[in-house]
Amino acid sequence: MRNYEVTFIVDPVLSGDEIKATAQTYVDHLNEIGAEVVDLDEMGLRQLAFPIQKRTSGVYYSLEFRIEDGSFIPKMELAFKRDERIIRYLTVRLDKYAIKFNEDRRNGLIGKDRKKKEQEEIKPKVVASAVPVSKKAKEEEE
Partner 1 sequence: MASRDDIKFLSNPKIGKKQKKFCRFKKYGIKHVDYKDPEFLKSFVNEQGKILPRRITGNSLKFQRKVSVSVKRARHLALLPFVTDLFK
Q: What part of residues 122-141 is at the interface with partner 1 (CB under 8 A)?
A: none
Q: How far is the CB of 137 from partner 1 (least distance, A)?
A: 40
Nearest CA to 42 out of 12, 11, 5, 7 is that of 7
| Least separation in angstroms between CB 47 and partner 1 | 9
d(C-alpha 101, C-alpha 107), whole Å: 10
- Nearest approach in angstroms of CB 136 to partner 1 is 36
**Residue ranges in 45-84 that form contacts with partner 1 under rule CB under 8 A:** 46, 48-50, 52, 58, 60, 62
Candidate segments 69-77, 98-106, 119-127, 134-142, binder of partner 1 by CB under 8 A: 98-106
Please choose, out of 17-25, 28-36, 74-82, 88-96, the segment that lies near partner 1 by the rule CB under 8 A: 88-96
Residues found near partner 1 in the complex (CB under 8 A): 7, 9, 43, 46, 48-50, 52, 58, 60, 62, 88, 90, 92, 95, 97-98, 100-101, 111
